[in-house]
Amino acid sequence: MGANTLTPVIRIQREDFDLAAEIAAISAGRRDIGAVVSFTGLCRDEGATLAALELEHYPGMAEAEIARVAAQAAARWPLMGLLAIHRYGLVKPGDQIVLVIATSAHRRAAFEAADFMMDYLKTRAPFWKREHLADGTVGGWVEAKQEDDDAAARWT
């Protein structure tokens, strides 16, 4: 199965996800995969100052935009599987926020595709984080970072 027939799995959900189950599903019945790269993004406690992150998203566009990014990755690398899950709602320190899995015959394609997906997810997927602080107050909206734009620009 080459890039032409790859159907990326995209899910935007409030619920947590299970990395092992997702890898098992994306690899089921195949013996041609040589490399599986996963990225899991977690909520950090920011030196115990953070109680939770509130993730707002643009329903519909979030799925559509991640699907567009995934289609670019599938066109660029010889992938066998590609998955992206992004949560919304309230997440606490230690909780999972985002998962990307890329599988390929060889490691370079899997590493680069997962890395690319995350850079583009960060800068193009319509999600916004707001901080809920440990002192009980609601902090500000997290500001976008120049380094994320710079990271995404590596692929152009």
Return the one option of a copy of itself, other proteins, none that residue 1 interacts with (CB less than 5 to 8 A, by type).
Answer: none
Return the one option of other proteins, a copy of itself, none that residue 34 interacts with (CB less than 5 to 8 A, by type).
Answer: a copy of itself
Q: Which residue has the tokens 């992206």?
A: 84
User: What tokens appear for 119 in the block?
Assistant: 């850079």
Residues near 156 by beta carbon (within 8 Å), at least 6 away in sequence? none
Nearer to a copy of itself, 42 or 60 (CB): 42
The DSSP line for 55-85 is: EEE-TTHHHHHHHHHHHHHHHHS-EEEEEEE
User: What tokens appear for 138 in the block?
Assistant: 């609601």
Choose the binding region for other proteins from 23-31, 43-51, 75-83, 121-129 (rule: CB under 8 A): 121-129
Using CB under 8 A, pick the residue from 41, 78, 93, 139 that binds other proteins: 41
CB 97 within 8 A of CB 111: no
Minimum distance, C-beta of residue 64 to other proteins, in the bound complex (Å): 5
DSSP 8-state assignment for residue 5: G
Task: List interacting residues with a copy of itself (CB under 8 A).
Answer: 18-20, 23, 27, 30-45, 47-48, 93-94, 105, 107-108, 110-111, 114-115, 118, 147, 151
